[in-house]
């Protein structure tokens, strides 16, 4: 990588941000497209957020990603936010457009892009979403936008599932949506086409846990686990033992990063799917 006086700076802010794969993904992408850009990470605590955002404007940082705990609190410091980010209610990507900071959310579109690359169509499908945190919010919106027929939201804390269900019902009145807990007593399991794990159950270091059992689901079930560390979660292993098709979280991680790049970089003279595949291969050496 060659750093010059006019290298454009992009970055990630969050707290904590140790061990994030984002710099590897973004800097590999810059190398692939031969861009004079660099992607860094900054550990930013809540109390410093406003100062940092103002400094980014002064330093002309061209764009940045936002992760926990700032995905919602950053909104008040931005000049505008995209329609999708408004519906999701959280930001993961900010573009500096001539000094104005515009917030976006690429989690949902990154998820849909990963389905597209896998050749999976969720239109008119029945989807079971596990979890009701930040990721579940973005995924429920994108699944609704993609035309799912019926959505079930199941979460450990019922009140959070209820809140998310009400939000989706308000934004997408045409979609049938129900909520419940992780025992899934209200879910007609054999009618579910896809289960999407948006909980953190199974994530490193708690790798021996799974959020649900698979009794009663149809043999054509697709299981998508957003967790990418470990690559094969307990849930994915359980699903594979039953012969279900599975997708792991690494694909979404790379796709949401490439969707951020699509927002930041005006000249899109590159092949999205090609770069996805090359970056996936690079990450093979980093994630077991
Ligand atoms: P979050 O906002 O903290 O939400 C965590 C969710 O997990 C909540 O629904 C929580 O339920 C549930 N949960 C946590 N511990 C649990 C337990 N012991 N039993 C049952 N449920 C439990 O986190 P997030 O940002 O949504 O992220 C969730 C997961 O998605 C993480 O593993 C993250 O790495 C992954 N993710 C992946 C990508 C990607 O690109 N692949 C992107 C975003 C997130 P309660 O409401 O009851 O607390």
**Tell me: the pLDDT tens digits for 82-93?**
999 999 999 999
pLDDT of 150 strictly over 80 = yes
Asked if 128 contacts 136 with a C-beta cutoff of 8 angstroms, the reply is: no
d(CA 130, CA 249): 14
Which atom of ligand 1 is the closest one to the Cα of 199? 7
**Where does the pLDDT of residue 32 fall: very low under 50, low under 70, confident under 90, or very high at 90 and above?**
very high
Summarize the confidence of residues 127-141 as an average pLDDT. 95
pLDDT at residue 278 tops 90: yes
Distance 223 CA to ligand 1 centre (A): 16
The preferred substitution site among 17, 69, 200, 210 for testing ligand 1, maximizing ligand atoms within 8 Å of CB, is 200
What distance in Å separates the CA atoms of residue 170 and residue 72, rounded to the nearest whole number?
A: 20
Peptide bond into 150 cis (omega under 30): no
Cα torsion 111, 115, 118, 119 to 10°: value is: -160
pLDDT digits (tens, 9 = 90+) for 229-242: 899 999 999 999 99
Question: What residues are annotated to the active site?
Answer: 71
What is the band of 205 on the pLDDT scale with cuts at 50, 70, 90?
A: confident
| Per-chain mean pLDDT for the chain | 95
Q: Calculate mean pLDDT across residues 263-273.
A: 80
Centroid of ligand 1 to alpha carbon of 30 (angstroms): 30
Q: Is the model's pLDDT at 225 over the cut of 90?
A: yes
pLDDT for 144 beyond 90: yes
Q: Please check the confidence at residue 97 and state whether its pLDDT lies above 80.
A: yes
Ligand 1 environment, Cβ below 6 A = 107, 131-136, 155-157, 160, 198-201, 203, 211, 226-228, 249, 252-253, 256
Query: What's the pLDDT score for residue 138?
Result: 94
- Distance between first and last Cα of the chain: 26
Question: What is the model's pTM?
Answer: 0.94
What sign for the dihedral angle of Cα 266, 279, 228, 176? Answer: positive
- The minimum-distance atom of ligand 1 relative to the CA of 202 is 32
Let me know if the fold of 8-105+254-283 is the same as that of 109-247: yes
Please state which architecture CATH assigns to domain 8-105+254-283: 3-Layer(aba) Sandwich (3.40)
For ligand 1, the distance from its centroid to the CA atom of residue 200, given in whole angstroms, is 4
CA 49 to chain centre: 22
Contact 127/112 with Cβ under 8 angstroms? no
CA-CA distance, 80 to 164, in Å (whole number)? 24
The DSSP letter of residue 9 is E
Distances from the Cα of 72 to the Cα of 123, 164, 178, angstroms:
29, 15, 25
Confidence class for position 273, pLDDT limits 50, 70, 90: confident
**Mean pLDDT over residues 98-113, rounded?**
96
Mean pLDDT for the stretch of residues 76-81:
97
Fold of 109-247: Rossmann fold (3.40.50)
Q: Which of 16, 70, 181, 199 to mutate to test the pocket of ligand 1 (most atoms within 8 A of CB)?
A: 199
* Ligand 1: nearest atom to the Cα of 131: 9
Q: What are the extents of the domains in the chain?
A: 8-105+254-283, 109-247
């Amino acid at each position: 990588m060659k750093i010059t006086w006019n290298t454009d700076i992009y970055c990630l802010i969050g707290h904590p941000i140790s061990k994030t794969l984002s710099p590897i993904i973004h800097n590999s992408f810059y190398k692939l497209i031969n861009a004079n850009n660099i992607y860094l990470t900054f550990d930013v605590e809540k109390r410093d957020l406003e100062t940092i955002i103002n400094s980014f404007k002064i330093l002309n940082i061209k764009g940045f990603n936002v992760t926990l705990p700032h995905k919602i609190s950053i909104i008040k410091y931005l000049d505008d936010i995209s329609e999708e980010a408004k519906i999701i209610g959280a930001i993961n990507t900010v573009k500096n457009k001539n000094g104005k900071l515009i917030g976006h959310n690429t989690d949902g579109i990154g998820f849909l892009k990963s389905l597209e690359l896998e050749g999976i169509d969720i239109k008119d499908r029945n989807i079971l979403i596990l979890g009701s945190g930040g990721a579940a919010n973005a995924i429920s919106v994108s699944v609704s936008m993609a035309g799912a027929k019926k959505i079930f939201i199941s979460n450990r804390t019922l009140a959070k599932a209820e809140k998310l269900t009400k939000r989706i019902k308000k934004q997408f009145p045409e979609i049938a949506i129900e909520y419940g807990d992780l025992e899934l007593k209200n879910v007609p399991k054999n009618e579910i086409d896809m289960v999407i794990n948006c909980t953190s159950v199974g994530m490193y270091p708690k790798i021996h846990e799974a959020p649900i059992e698979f009794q009663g689901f149809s043999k054509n079930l697709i299981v998508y686990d957003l967790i990418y560390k470990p690559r094969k979660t307990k849930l994915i292993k359980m699903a594979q033992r039953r012969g279900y098709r599975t997708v792991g979280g690494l694909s979404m991680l790379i796709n949401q990063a490439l969707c951020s790049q699509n927002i930041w970089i005006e000249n899109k003279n590159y092949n999205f799917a090609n770069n996805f595949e090359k970056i996936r291969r690079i990450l093979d050496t980093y994630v077991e």
